[in-house]
Structure 1
């Protein structure tokens, strides 16, 4: 029986345009994200690099960029948060049938943009739905590293077999599944998080 639901954030609740940052950078002449840049991104998501350091790295590597143009390109991934999803999770939290958690790979610039797009009140309403709000840059870990799932299970005394994890990235759900956690690899555009109890009715 499922007692705990762990949700991803991007493309589960808030809509993303994952191609937008690369497209925006390409318009400024940056057409390839190399291994060094990917390493920056992962380090930044773990909170081991500041927004200022990430921006400075990009400006050094690409002098044609400005701090503003980089930030706009970086944050172009963040879109809207549909009200029906907020209503759904708020009702689920109100019902108190399940323990609810959020586990997201994110970063300070993206969270700033999320709050700007959603509005501080709606963001606060969303955050308050969860017993714990795990953001990668706050806990210095990121998915799909197994340590992050183990950390959540241990920190909140969750039993893997009583837990379901919902994420739009197959690598992330596969990692969680390898630890005995039930998963739903949600496909954005084809499925909506509000369909959870229909799609996974065999678990609930």
Structure 2
């Protein structure tokens, strides 16, 4: 019986264009996916600040301004359909499940969301616990981020489901005995959780 539901954020609640960052940064000058990934890995776990992150990009993209880099960085973020807010708010009101958000999210992205998603605070307050990688300095798909959540809240893995669009993230959770839903954001919607995963509830 499921008691805890752990949700990813991007491409579960807010829609993403995952190719956009490379596409937009490439318009500012020559840069490789490896260079972007290297900076992102540091930034996503809070090992470098926003200032340091932008500075590293400016060393590669020597003619790019801070605003241009910020705009390119945030281009991954698309719309947040309101029906998904309705879904999580309804779940929160029912108080049947321990609701946790576990997201690889950096400061620039969450700042953009706070400014551009009018119901962000209502969304955040729907969860019992809300974990962003740059705040806890842990990231998926590493095992330690899942172990942190399980231990922090004394969660039983086989009474838990984890929902994430990235297979390597759900693979790690599955190895720990957590039920998973590796959702396809193009064809599946989180609001259909109880229909698509009815065998678990």
TM-score (normalizing by structure 1): 0.96
For residues 23-48 of structure 1, the C-alpha deviation after alignment (integer angstroms, 9 at most, x for no partner) is 111222335222x4322211110011
Output the CA distance in 1 between the equivalents of 2:78 and 2:97. Answer: 28
Is 1:71 matched with 2:70?
yes
Alignment of 1:164-203 (within 5 A): 164-203=161-200
User: What residue number does 1:18 align with?
Assistant: 18
Alignment of 1:91-102 (within 5 A): 91-102=90-101
Equivalent of residue 129 in structure 1, options 111, 126, 131: 126
User: What residue number does 1:8 align with?
Assistant: 8
User: What residue number does 1:114 align with?
Assistant: 113
Q: Aligned pair count?
A: 201
Does structure 1 conserve the Cα–Cα contact (< 8 Å) formed by 2:31 and 2:60? no
Output the CA distance in 2 between the equivalents of 1:56 and 1:163. Answer: 40
The 3-state SS of whatever aligns with 1:103 is strand
For residues 31-89 of structure 1, the C-alpha deviation after alignment (integer angstroms, 9 at most, x for no partner) is 5222x432221111001110000000111122021111000000001111111000110
Output the CA distance in 2 between the equivalents of 1:55 and 1:176. Answer: 32
User: What residue number does 2:40 align with?
Assistant: 41
Does structure 2 conserve the Cα–Cα contact (< 8 Å) formed by 1:103 and 1:135? yes
Is 1:28 matched with 2:20?
no
Equivalent of residue 143 in structure 1, options 140, 144, 155: 140
Does structure 2 conserve the Cα–Cα contact (< 8 Å) formed by 1:80 and 1:117? no
Q: Which runs of 5+ in 2 are unaligned?
A: none
Does structure 1 conserve the Cα–Cα contact (< 8 Å) formed by 2:28 and 2:61? no
Output the CA distance in 2 between the equivalents of 1:84 and 1:30. Answer: 39
User: What residue number does 2:80 align with?
Assistant: 81
Does structure 1 conserve the Cα–Cα contact (< 8 Å) formed by 2:31 and 2:61? no
